[in-house]
Structure 1
C-alpha cells in the first residue's frame, strides 16, 4: 500500500495548475464579440433542438402510460419548444436567422 505525503499532494496540485492555456477560449464569463455570442447561441439552439428530437423519437409505447408521465412528457416538450423559440429570437436579433434555421433543419433531419 502506497502512502501519499502532503508534499506529493502539493506537487500534483501544482501540476494541475500548469494546464496549457487555450487562447481562443474566453478567460472570463463574458462573450466579448458578437461572433462569440452568435456561436454560443447557435450551440444552445442545437442542444435544445437535439434534446427535443430525442424526446420525440421515444417509442410511442414508452410515452404512453400513466397520465402523469404523459403530462410530464408534454411539459418537457413544451419547455424545449419555448427555449428553441427564444433562441431563434435571440439569433434573429444577432442577424443569424439563416444559421438558426439551418441548424434546426439539420437537427430535425438527422
Structure 2
C-alpha cells in the first residue's frame, strides 16, 4: 500500500465517521422533538385538568409559560444540534486537510530519498 492509498482509505474512514456523527445528531434532534411533544401533551393534559380551579389570569400566565418554555426548549435543541453539526464538520474538514498535508509531506520525502 502506498501513501496515496493509505490517505484515500483514511479520508474515507473520516468521511464515514462524519456521516455517522450526523446520523446521531439527527437522531438526537428527532428524540428531542419527540420529548418536546410528549412534555407539551402532558402539560396540556394537566392544564385541562386543573383549569376549572384556576383564575383567568393564572390560566393566561400558565399558557404564556408553556409557550415560553416550549420556545426555549426548541431553540436550545436547535442550537445544540447545529453546534454539534458545526463541530463534526470542523473536525472532519481539519482531519481531511491534515491527512492530505501528511500525504504530501510523505510523498515529498519519498521523492527525495528515491
TM-score (norm 2): 0.38
Indicate the structure (1 or 2) with the bigger Cα radius of gyration.
Answer: 2
Higher relative contact order (CA 8 A, sep 6+): 2
More helix by share: 2
